[in-house]
Homo-oligomer: A and B are copies of this chain.
Amino acid sequence: MNDTNQYNVAVVGATGAVGLKMLETLEDRDFPIGELKLLSSSRSAGQKLTFKGREYVVEEAVPESFDDVDIALFSAGGSVSKKFAPEAVDRGAVVIDNTSAYRMAEGVPLVVPEVNEADIQKHKGIIANPNCSTIQMVAALEPVRKQLGLSRVIVSTYQAVSGAGNEAADELREQSMDFLNGEDLKAEILPVKGDEKHFPIAFNALPQIDVFQENGYTFEEMKMINETKKIMHAPDLSVAATCVRLPFFTSHAESVYVEVEQSGVSVQDIQNLLKQAPGITLEDDPSTQTYPTPLTAAGKRDVFVGRVRKDLDHEKGFHMWVVSDNLLKGAAWNSVQIAERLVANQWL
């Protein structure tokens, strides 16, 4: 920290889909930045990016890049975080890591500020930003859990391609155009860049996000299951997830079934809790066809909830539809929000 309560910030993976949104969000929020460093792999080094009207050259990340850095926002893949986050911490920086590298590690807080802001202060240098689809779900469920208790969650996701990076968005764009022109579709990125097979996403749905685990679940599904329990401090909460990639660019949507612990809860009770909750916008009125969609949520920082219904058979069961911009609340905004709370609470 320098003299005027400004912080030296590094953004690692600055040229990626999330990195660019981090810069936008830091600028929008007028985050008190002293010096800004934009870092990347050697492949993207040399690119130029503009922040608050000034041009920055993206540099290749090396251990020394983190000298004098106060806060380092990482979003360049798990291997980059594993390599450089400890280097940054050794040099006195606090790392806010958007990859899955440290999320489930003991002693690393996994934080959605609306849910578990206080966990931030327990950090030992690294704070993990949860998986995009997890963040928006726990933000929507926490007000319910806090007031009514929560015993069970079953979620089916509808996830945007930008969650797999700019290349995946480019692939959707190209495939869509080829499809509309009656041409064959080339699939090289989705469902998972590093996996063996690739399938078209344009005008399709792929029930695979990230690689398969031995238990038949994908890693994305296991992230939702395990991270939800950690963030909510609810190891006994039953969570099940099915994650599906869909042909839209921005925002994840989720069909969420929950069982609350209290009896006699009404739809209106849930709606009232959500209305008052920080970071949540309730968009829920069937009489006027009011509900959130990926297109309407894109570019906004809130988590949007609609279609709140009581299960017709299970007295404690409720269904809802949760939508949020996966690059903002699901990634960049949640990371910057952690940085803001870190600074505001002087937990650096």
* Contact of A207 with B307 at beta-carbon distance under 8 Å, contacts A216-B267, A240-B312, A295-B200 already known: yes
A197 contacts the other chain (CB 8 A): yes
A113 contacts the other chain (CB 8 A): no
Which residues of the other chain, B, contact A180 by a CB distance below 8 angstroms? 173, 176-177, 180
* Contact of A321 with B207 at beta-carbon distance under 8 Å, contacts A309-B217, A313-B240 already known: yes
Chain A 112-144, CB within 8 Å of chain B: the 1/0 string?
000000000000000000000000000000000
A346 contacts the other chain (CB 8 A): no
Which A170-208 residues sit within 8 Å CB-CB of chain B?
173, 176-177, 180, 191, 195-197, 199-200, 203-208
* Contact of A204 with B293 at beta-carbon distance under 8 Å, contacts A156-B156, A242-B255, A246-B246 already known: yes
Chain A 233-259, CB within 8 Å of chain B: the 1/0 string?
000001110101011110001010100
From the candidates B217, B244, B307, B314, name the one contacting A158 in the complex (CB within 8 A).
Answer: B244
Closest-CB distance, A207 to chain B (whole angstroms): 5
A3 to B280, CA, bound (A): 69
Which residues of the other chain, B, contact A238 by a CB distance below 8 angstroms? 313-314
Which residues of the other chain, B, contact A197 by a CB distance below 8 angstroms? 288-289
Across the two chains, which residue of chain B brings its CB closest to A218? B286
A212 contacts the other chain (CB 8 A): yes
Which residues of the other chain, B, contact A253 by a CB distance below 8 angstroms? 205, 207, 244
Across the two chains, which residue of chain B brings its CB closest to A257? B154
Name the interface size band of chain A.
Answer: 35 or more
Across the two chains, which residue of chain B brings its CB closest to A242? B255
- CB <8 Å contact, B205 and A246: yes
* Contact of A240 with B317 at beta-carbon distance under 8 Å, contacts A158-B158, A203-B247, A205-B248 already known: yes
- CB <8 Å contact, A289 and B208: yes
For the A-B complex with A203-B247, A204-B293 known, give 6 more contacts whose Cβ atoms are closer than 8 Å: A152-B313, A207-B253, A207-B306, A216-B309, A238-B314, A242-B307
Q: List 30 A-B contacts (CB under 8 A).
A: A156-B242, A158-B158, A158-B244, A173-B180, A191-B289, A196-B289, A199-B289, A199-B293, A204-B295, A206-B293, A207-B253, A207-B255, A207-B291, A207-B306, A207-B307, A207-B321, A212-B289, A215-B309, A216-B308, A216-B310, A239-B313, A240-B257, A240-B312, A240-B314, A242-B319, A242-B321, A244-B253, A244-B255, A246-B246, A257-B257
Top-8 shortest CB links A-B: A156-B156, A156-B255, A238-B313, A212-B286, A242-B255, A203-B248, A204-B295, A216-B309
